Structure 1
Amino acid sequence: MKKRVAAVLLLFLPAVVHAQGLTPELIAHQPSLWPQEVTLTTAVPTPLVINGKTVGTAELPAGTKLPVIKVERERVVLKFGDSTIVVAHGNTDLLARVRQSQAALERAYAATPAMASPVAPVVKAAPAAPRGVIATELAGDLVRFDGKSVTRFSDAELAKVKYFGIYFSASWCGPCRAFTPKLVSFYNKIKPQHPEFEVVFVSRDRSERDAEKYMENDAMPWPAVRFSALRNKAKLNGLAGRGIPCLVLVDQDGTVLSHSYEGETYVGPQKVMRDIEATLAKR
């Protein structure tokens, strides 16, 4: 019975990245691969940063386990108490951890027998699911600030959405804070006439509290991906550009219609807002 369940679960996993083919650069671009924590392999003298300011230094001994906040191409951002520290990949067991995890997944996949002509179980009819690749990716993991607190966003509202503006932003980013009010004004003007359009906030903040305060302080009227679910949103994270603010217009199946980046060139989110308006005007 356990083997049959494993086989079913594996059908929904993303394509396995072979463990030995993993590189720090690949890991940095795939948040779903990031471990919950890493262990320092050498003693690391590091500055202590609180609210963006260096407040001192500390030497952390080898063997210290620290939660992972973000993996970058050459370094990993870690949580240390109430501050963050930045450590080179080579001073942690990051690569070994990820390779070990992927190798275990490969072994499980190889050990799973093929299922020959399974009989479909009889199940009760379920409520209509959100349609399209993007709505399916988001289902169950959206929240919204309702004016008082952050609450769950109803998946039923996604069923009618044909176009999504995926908004990558963070409260610590000055250009983001300058642009967000413009997007709020644009959204409040266009949303009532176009229920087929929705903006979704994908936070690049350092904590859930920071992301939720950003939603509250800027009165974001659209839903956001639940902070704890961000690592598992491979399709959404794959849409991100190299910097923020980054706004991406996609259709319900994830086809990119407009992007804040054109190749390596940053053209900005204002260009995407114009494209959103033009796209909706054609409907």
Structure 2
Amino acid sequence: MSASTNLPGWTHLYSGKVRDLYEREGAASDALLVVASDRVSAFDHVLSPGIPGKGELLTALSLWWFDRLDIPNHLLPADEQAGDGTAAEAIPTEVAGRAMLVQKLDMFPVECVVRGYLTGSGWKEYVASRSVCGIPLPDGLNNGDRLPEPLYTPAYKAPMGEHDENISFEASIELVGEADATALRDASLAIYAQASAIAEERGVILADTKFEFGRNPHTGVLTLGDEVLTSDSSRYWDADVYASAATAEARMASFDKQIVRDWLAANWDQTGTPPELPAEIVEKTASRYRELLDRLTA
């Protein structure tokens, strides 16, 4: 997948489904530039067209959350006041508004997933085995129900191009050692608790999310990296709709690309090239991304 653009002074490292990563030129530098594109993916395919403004919306939401969470993060000082021109010299104008200047971290190969509600793949497993990622749950739960307590369900971060794999907490210990595995779990649950409370104050439910952490190579401190609590990495629901909707599906209408997933599932058999997204679906999806940012940051 090609980079979003050529940036003078920066070397393109790689592109994921949504983000492009650049390294500042110069052997002494450990700065990275994380650029969020307008690309949208579903069922492991990047779709066409993208969602206009999505990169800026995701970046704005990550910066907003980083500013509120009680844990060290990978933003470099120039990003602390992003949006008022402070970072203008550091972040190229070509990607201004949709890029974060960050400290390179020694990343852990663990994706830290926290689930506060029973939904998605967790619901499917619960129906089959009364468990989520192997963690037993009581009988009688329904799709979309709040879990008795948030669950930490880590995944192994596979090499680029391969699928991440759900693993047990014990398996995460084998990957990174008991001390770091415990620190990752405890930090993830603490962030989820803090973020859930902030979201609930704004009438939004944080159903689940995922975090990525690394260690700062200079200080050794456990540090939150990548994006955080965006509508690409999290499920958010409208609290009023959740409380009043007549069906489970209606109460879980999310502020993300679920509209895209639903349309694609109904119009594509997942073989060959995905069809182009209709303009109506693109606009509805963009509107949901914008609404979440407005609801949380107002």
| TM-score w.r.t. length of structure 1 | 0.25
Q: Which has the higher Rg, Structure 1 or Structure 2?
A: 1
| TM-score w.r.t. length of structure 2 | 0.24
